Chains A and B, each alone.
Chain A
Amino acid sequence: QVQLQQSGPGLVKPSQTLSLTCAISGDSVSSKIGAWHWIRQSPSRGLEWLGRTYYRSKWTNDYAVSVKSRITINPDTSKNQFSLQLNSVTPEDTAVYYCARQAGSFDIWGQGTVVTVSS
Chain B
Amino acid sequence: DIVLTQSPDSLAVSLGERATINCRSSQSVLYSSNNKDHLAWYQQKPGQPPKLLISWASTRESGVPDRFSGSGSGTDFTLTISSLQAEDVAAYYCQQYYSTPFTFGPGTKVDIK
Interface residues of chain A, those whose CB is within 8 Å of chain B, are 37, 46-49, 52, 62, 64-65, 98, 100, 102, 104-107, 109-112
Contact = CB atoms under 8 A, between A and B. Distances in A.
Q: What 5 pairs between A and B have smallest CB-CB spacing? A: A105-B40, A109-B49, A47-B104, A105-B55, A49-B102
Given A62-B100, A105-B55, A47 B93 contact: yes
A104 B106 contact: no
Interface of B: 38, 40, 42, 48-52, 55-56, 61, 93, 95, 97, 100-104, 106-107
Contact of B40 (A48, A106, A109): A106
B97 A105 contact: yes
B102 A98 contact: no
B49 A110 contact: yes
A47 B43 CA distance: 12
A64 B1 CA distance: 10
Given A107-B55, A110-B49, 10 more contacts: A46-B104, A49-B101, A49-B104, A100-B49, A102-B97, A105-B55, A105-B97, A106-B97, A107-B52, A111-B49
A46 B106 contact: yes
Contact of A104 (B55, B101, B104): B55
Contacts of B51: 109
Contacts of A98: 49-50
Contacts of B107: 46-47
